[in-house]
């Protein structure tokens, strides 16, 4: 077990697997009475951190909603990530970066290097250029006890065009991403959407169970936490279910209770 796998297991054991997304959509900011500016994004992010701390163990800021505010948005993001890590939360930066050579290595340096202004505990990545294109990022993650979650099977309907294609041995690309992540012994996990039909994308739950799985798509995207045992079956114990708009929509006053309710639902899953 790698250092990141051990850290993740410790967090899940202590606080459960629920992950709360920090997604400051313009509509959510409006519902909270916050401006759609960097100051509003910062305020929402810090309030989510305060509500999450002590309740759950993992948060996932969606970088796009910070990035749209330029330099000021990134400054806000730095504060939110630092506050979350200071509060003892494990931070997965949802950046979905991917490239080759020194370019992709620089992405890893930005998000996974201790002391970086954007230092997170893990990042999401895309391996369209081949899983091996992430070798440098995964090596950096391993060196520093960090993690990388590689997209395998996503919930958007367009994904099937690529992710269900089969390689020479008949394995789908989605499953190949899972297999390659397994080979990293816990440094790399995968992203599998909660609305995905595992059989349709060629992923055996018994195989998926061998790797950490970040599972977005619960709530606003249509998947229900109560359906996860049927969706993921034997892989349920590897799942980190992500909820975002479904709890953020409760507003700043109801956020804590919404997180508690989601955490109770996840805790009721059969293990």
Catalytic residues: 96
Nearest Cα residue to 194 out of 131, 244, 130: 244
Euclidean distance between CA atoms 246 and 185, whole angstroms? 33
Euclidean distance between CA atoms 60 and 244, whole angstroms? 9
Annotate 97-119 with DSSP letters as a single string.
Answer: E--SHHHHHHHHHHHHSTT-TT-
Contacts of 34 (CB under 8 A, 6+ apart): 40, 41, 43, 44
Annotate 31-68 with DSSP letters as a single string.
Answer: HTT--SSHHHHHHHHHHHHHHHBTTBSEEEEBTHHHHT
Annotate 128-176 with DSSP letters as a single string.
Answer: TT-GGGGHHHHHHHHHTT-EEEEEEE-SSGGGHHHHT-B-TTS-BHHHH
Euclidean distance between CA atoms 268 and 265, whole angstroms? 5
DSSP SS3 for 221: coil
Residues 131, 132, 135, 137, CA torsion sign? negative
* Contact in structure between 232 and 205 (CB atoms under 8 Å): yes
Euclidean distance between CA atoms 259 and 5, whole angstroms? 24
């Amino acid at each position: 077990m790698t250092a990141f796998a051990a850290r993740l297991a410790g967090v899940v054991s202590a606080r459960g697997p629920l992950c709360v997304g920090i997604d400051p959509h313009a509509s959510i900011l409006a519902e909270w009475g916050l401006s759609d500016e960097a100051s509003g994004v910062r305020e929402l992010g810090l309030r989510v951190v305060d509500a999450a701390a002590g309740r759950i163990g993992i948060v996932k800021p969606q970088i796009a909603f910070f990035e749209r505010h330029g330099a000021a948005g990134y400054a806000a993001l730095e504060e939110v990530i630092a506050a979350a890590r200071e509060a003892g939360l494990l931070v997965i930066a949802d950046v979905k970066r991917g490239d080759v050579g020194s370019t992709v290595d620089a992405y890893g340096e930005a998000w996974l290097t201790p002391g970086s202004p954007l230092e997170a505990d893990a990042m999401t990545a895309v391996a369209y250029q081949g899983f091996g294109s992430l070798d440098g990022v995964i090596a950096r993650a391993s060196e520093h006890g960090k993690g990388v979650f590689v997209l395998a099977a996503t919930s958007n309907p367009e994904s099937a065009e690529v992710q269900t294609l089969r390689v020479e041995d008949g394995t789908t690309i989605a499953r190949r991403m899972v297999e390659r992540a397994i080979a990293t012994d816990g440094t790399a996990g995968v992203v599998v959407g909660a609305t995905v039909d595992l059989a349709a994308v060629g992923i055996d739950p018994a195989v998926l169970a061998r790797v950490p799985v970040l599972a977005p798509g619960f709530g606003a995207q249509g998947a229900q936490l109560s359906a996860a045992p049927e969706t993921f079956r034997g892989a349920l114990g590897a799942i980190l279910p992500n909820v975002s708009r479904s709890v953020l929509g409760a507003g700043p006053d109801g956020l804590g209770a919404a997180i508690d309710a989601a955490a109770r639902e996840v805790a009721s899953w059969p293990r």
